Structure 1
């Protein structure tokens, strides 16, 4: 399994979960979140994570006490994700379909090949597409608010 983060400028990080490892709150807090922190400290040495917001779904590991404490300690701001709302998750409404099509039919000999293919795919997406995705996300949020929380599967 891969955990992928991106922002309006492009890929932030991609983490391959080691074979046999479950994504627990501890794994997320000690492996995933430090990668995000490292990315922004390298990219924005003067400001680091100041002003950076994180959106992830409501999976149990993301909601653990350890994760909440880590998010607070590194200075991220967590955006609340509405339950059962894949129509409001940029990975679900934008990224995953294209990635699945890109990888379809490819036979990988080892896990690292999958990681490299994902990395290439993410890198090849023009920066403008990442930016447009965030504008689309904001429009989706507005639409859901205007319609009092209704679910929209195919926007």
Structure 2
């Protein structure tokens, strides 16, 4: 709710598999949490990611269990319930619309600026909106329609 903790551009040609995701969690996300939100790792993490196969892989669930993070369930067949999809990405698209990029570095810098331009207060609204969407999905027998 306090904004983006980690912005990690995946190198071109990289296959996102369980081992890659596990490494990002261990080597990038966890240190970023320690740096940007001191004390949060000790007080407890509520962690949410969608139910993509790479997120459900044993290697990933093992590393998250080792972190002792509490995992929030994601409804089956509802990839559109990820807060990035309905909150962060639309804000970034507004900022990036109409631009052309010459290099990968140009894209990386532009997305960094776009993320910084997202109003910090909007993250609280996004989480509340997400909770309402999750509740709507639960009330609709596990299906989500917006």
TM-score range relative to shorter protein:
0.7 to 0.9
Aligned to 2:44: 51
Pair 1:108-2:101 in alignment: yes
Pair 1:135-2:128 in alignment: yes
The one of 33, 51, 60 aligned to 1:40: 33
Matches within 5 A, 1:71-82: 71-82=64-75
Pair 1:22-2:15 in alignment: yes
The one of 97, 100, 106 aligned to 2:90: 97
CA distance in 2, matches of 1:60, 1:86: 12
Aligned to 1:68: 61
Q: CA deviation at 1:144?
A: 2.4
**Structure 2 gap segments, 5+ residues each:** none
Aligned to 2:142: 149
Change (3 A) 1:51 1:135: same
Change (3 A) 1:126 1:13: same
Counterpart contact for 1:29–1:70, Cα < 8 Å: yes
Kindly indicate which of the two structures has a greater share of residues assigned to helix: 2
Aligned to 1:3: none
| Deviation sequence 1:85-135 (CA, Å, 0-9, x none) | 134221122222232232222111111211111111111112110111001
Q: CA deviation at 1:49?
A: 5.5
- Tell me the TM-score normalized by structure 2: 0.87
- Tell me the TM-score normalized by structure 1: 0.83
CA distance in 2, matches of 1:112, 1:87: 29
**Structure 1 gap segments, 5+ residues each:** 1-7
